[in-house]
Amino acid sequence: MKTVSDVLCFLMSFTVVLVVLTFVLRVPHIITQQPAIVDEYYLKGFIQNVPLDYFFVFVYFLIALFFIETFRVTSENMKIVIMAVSTVLITSAFCFYFQSYPVSKAFFSRWFHAAGYSASVYDMLLLVFTYLLYRFLQNKVAK
C-alpha cells in the first residue's frame, strides 16, 4: 500500500466484506459451526473486536502484498492465490499454536480449540473477498 487512496480502498473493502460475510450472510457461523463464540466476538465484543479485526486483516493483507511484490507477481489470479494461501498458512499457524496448549479463558484459545482449522477457511474468504473488492476500487480510483 503506497498511497492514502490504497489505504482508503482497503478500509472500504474490508468494511463491506466484513458486514456482508459476517453480519448478513453469517459465514463464520456456517463454516465454523460455532455460533456462540462467533457472536461473543462480533456482537458482544463489537466495540473492542471489530477494530482488532481491522488490524489483523490489515497485517495479513500486508504480508500477502509483500509476497506479491517480492516475487513480482503480475497475474491477478496468482495474486488471489497468494492472498488465500498466505492467509490459510498464518491462521493455521495460530491454530496450531493455540491447540498446542490446553484451552484457557483467553478468547483466541477458546476460538481455535472450538473452531479449529475451519477458522482458516473463514479468514481466507475474508481476505480474498477484501482483496477482490480492494482491486476493483483501486481500478475505479485510477481511472
How close are the terminal C-alpha atoms of the chain, in Å? 18
Domain ranges for the chain, please list them: 4-142
Cell of 55: 488490524
pLDDT in the model for residue 2: 84
User: Could you give the CA distance from residue 92 to residue 18 in angstroms, rounded to a whole number?
Assistant: 20
User: Could you give the CA distance from residue 1 to residue 131 in angstroms, rounded to a whole number?
Assistant: 12
Query: Is residue 1 very low, low, confident or very high in pLDDT (cuts 50, 70, 90)?
Result: confident
Contact between 126 and 17 (Cβ < 8 Å): yes
Contact between 25 and 138 (Cβ < 8 Å): no
pLDDT in tens, 14-68: 999 999 999 999 999 999 999 999 999 999 999 999 999 999 999 999 999 999 9
- What average pLDDT does this structure show over 67-88? 98
User: Could you give the CA distance from residue 129 to residue 80 in angstroms, rounded to a whole number?
Assistant: 9
Mean residue pLDDT across the chain? 96
Tell me, yes or no, if the pTM score tops 0.85.
Answer: yes
Distance of CA 138 to the CA centre of its chain: 19
pLDDT in tens, 62-75: 999 999 999 999 99
pLDDT in the model for residue 141: 86
